[in-house]
Structure 1
Amino acid sequence: MQLSTPRLILRSWMESDRLPFAEMSQDAQVMEYLRPLPTRDASDAWIDFQISHQSSHGFCLWAVESKESGVFMGAVGLLRIGFVAPFTPAIEVGWRLARQFWGQGFAVEAARVSLQFGFEEIRLKEIVAHASTRNVRSRRVMAKLGMSHDSAEDFDHPRMPENDALRRQALYRLTQEVWLS
């Protein structure tokens, strides 16, 4: 599996991605609004889950690399949401990039090709995204992707403890109809 943009390649995971992903997962700023992956085993398990998801569903949060340098940059793609919420079952678009790649449009670029794959190749009717209501950067990416937000749909993430500051999540939606228009 491989998708590409002018600057990026979204591809299946390789063994060589494990160390840079683990290092990225130890960066407090990268993980500020994400569920922690505190150990190498935890980050390897996250990658193993993506590989399994790709095998089962034909998509996952793919490894992202620079076309120019071949450097691992992070993960972007589509995922079946694995928890129960008012909007599930659903497919989400998501991203996590190493900090040195922030602010350069890479998340939007990679998410756009993921949405294109979801809507045009596998013909999904809707794709959602969610992030902590505090995560201004990711919410900005969602808006740039043309996703809509209705604060009445914001929800408490069932996998976050009740007292966790990240429990409240903003839900964004994009339909195939809007994408294709």
Structure 2
Amino acid sequence: MHQKYLFQTNRLGFRVWQPSDLQPFGEINSDPETMRFFKNPYSLEETQAMMDRMARMFEEKGYCYFAVDLLENQELIGAIGLGWKTFEADFTPCVDIGWRISKNYWNKGLTTEGAKACLEFAKTLGIPEVFSYATSANLPSIQIMKKIGMHFYYEFELSELREFPHLKQCTLYHIDLLNQV
């Protein structure tokens, strides 16, 4: 079955979420290692709720954390894309970039490749700047932020994680899409 992709890289296809994604994305979201920098792994219901939020965001904004397929086998490997963040912070509301892919596909450059493509997509939408944040202990994600040209902005405590002392300290990165060097 050929998917209709919004945009592609050499190895990845980006698309809107479909009902058939629930099971494979649910497996990614329920994996304790993949979700170690989150409050807890997601249930199937939480995964469905996230997919529903992404569908609404795409309808409203023209972007979301996209479903990402590996083109060589059409397998859903996770989510990479843009989000709209409105929690209380100095830098919100803002567009952010984020990712979550199956651990089977870590350390292959796929997240970096996909995140770069999402920044290019953001440019086509006229988005002037993009932020990204992660728990300060999430060094793999912070490394990706650096690889895609983002710059350290500051550290902050995420109010949503106040009850999780090991997660609440976050590192914020930023990229100015209008004045890139």
Structure 1: any 5+ residue segments left out of the alignment? none
Query: 2:130 matched to which residue of 1?
Result: 127
Shift of 1:178: 4.0
Is 1:168 equivalent to 2:172 in the alignment? no
Q: Is the 8 A contact 1:155 1:169 kept in 2?
A: yes
| Distance (whole Å) between structure 2 residues aligned to residue 163 and residue 19 of structure 1 | 28
Q: Which residue of 72, 75, 79 maps to 1:75?
A: 79
Query: 1:144 matched to which residue of 2?
Result: 147
Q: Is the 8 A contact 1:37 1:43 kept in 2?
A: no
Residue identity over aligned pairs, in percent, reads 28
* Partner SS, residue 160 of structure 2: coil
C-alpha distance after superposition, 1:114-162 (max 9, x if no partner)? 000112x111111000000000100000000111004xx2111111124
Query: 1:154 matched to which residue of 2?
Result: 155
Query: 1:114 matched to which residue of 2?
Result: 118
Shift of 1:3: 1.3
Is 1:56 equivalent to 2:50 in the alignment? no
In the alignment, residue 167 of structure 2 is paired with which amino acid?
A: L
Shift of 1:92: 0.3
C-alpha distance after superposition, 1:82-126 (max 9, x if no partner)? 31101111100100000000000010111111000112x111111
Q: Is the 8 A contact 2:32 2:40 kept in 1?
A: no
Q: Is the 8 A contact 2:39 2:164 kept in 1?
A: no
* Partner SS, residue 117 of structure 1: helix
Query: 1:33 matched to which residue of 2?
Result: 37
The correspondence of residues 67-106 of structure 1 with structure 2, limited to 5 A, is 67-106=71-110
Query: RMSD in angstroms over aligned alpha carbons?
Result: 1.3
Structure 2: any 5+ residue segments left out of the alignment? none
Scaled by the length of structure 2, what TM-score is found?
0.93
Query: 1:5 matched to which residue of 2?
Result: 9
Aligned residues between the structures: 177
| Distance (whole Å) between structure 2 residues aligned to residue 84 and residue 149 of structure 1 | 20
In the alignment, residue 173 of structure 2 is paired with which amino acid?
A: Y
Is 1:17 equivalent to 2:21 in the alignment? yes
